Amino acid sequence: LCWPGSGGIRGGAAMDLFGDLRRMNKRQLYYQVLNFAMIVSSALMIWKGLIVVTGSESPIVVVLSGSMEPAFHRGDLLFLTNFHDDPIRAGEIVVFKVEGRDIPIVHRVIKVHEKGNGNIKFLTKGDNNEVDDRGLYKEGQNWLEKKDVVGRARGFLPYVGMVTIIMNDYPKFKYALLAVMGAYVLLKRES
C-alpha cells in the first residue's frame, strides 16, 4: 500500500526512510552518524595501511580491458606490491602510469635493458595485443622506467572488480548504491 501522491513504491520507501529518521531522537541520530563516520574512516585507514605495507600507491586495481587475456580478464581484482629493491624482470606483470593518461595500464614486461649504473628501462605488451605498448607511451618515449610503475601483480580475485566497472559505467547505479548503504548504516539500530 502506498500513500496517495507518493510516487508508488519508491516514494513510499522514501517516506519510510524519513519517518524512521524523524522517530529517532537526537542522541540516536548522532550515534548513527558517528558510526557511519567510523566506518568510512576505518576503510581509509585500512587503505593507507595497505599503501605502506605494499609500497604501492594503489595496492588494489581492477583490470578494465581484455588486453591481458587469458592471464587476467576484465573485472579481475589485482593485488599489487611495489618494493623498489626488487628488480623488474621480463615476464613480470606490472601496472604502470603513462604521462597524459589518468588510468593505469596492466601489461607484461617483454624486454628489459639494464645499464651498468643501475638504470633499468623496459618495454611492455598486453598478452592479447598484437604489438608492444610504444603506441601507448607519451610521444617520443620508447621505454618505461621504474618511476612509471605503480605496482606489480602478486595475486588476483577473478571478476570481483565487475562491481567497480558497473558503477563507473552507470553512475546513477553508483549513487543509488551509496545512498542505500548510507541509509542502512544510519538507520540500523543496535539490538
Active site residues: 67, 107, 133
Query: DSSP string covering the chain, please?
Result: ---TTS-SHHHHHHHHHHHHHHHS-HHHHHHHHHHHHHHHHHHHHHHHHHHHHH--S-SEEE--SSTTTTTS-TTPEEEEE--TTSPP-TT-EEEE--TT-SS-EEEEEEEEEE-TTS-EEEEEE-TT-SS-GGGTSPTT--SEEGGGEEEEEEEEETTTTHHHHHHHH-HHHHHHHHHHHHHHHHH----
CB atoms within 10 A of CB 63: 24
Q: Which cell goes with 31?
A: 550515534
CB atoms within 10 A of CB 152: 23
Place of cell 500500500: 1
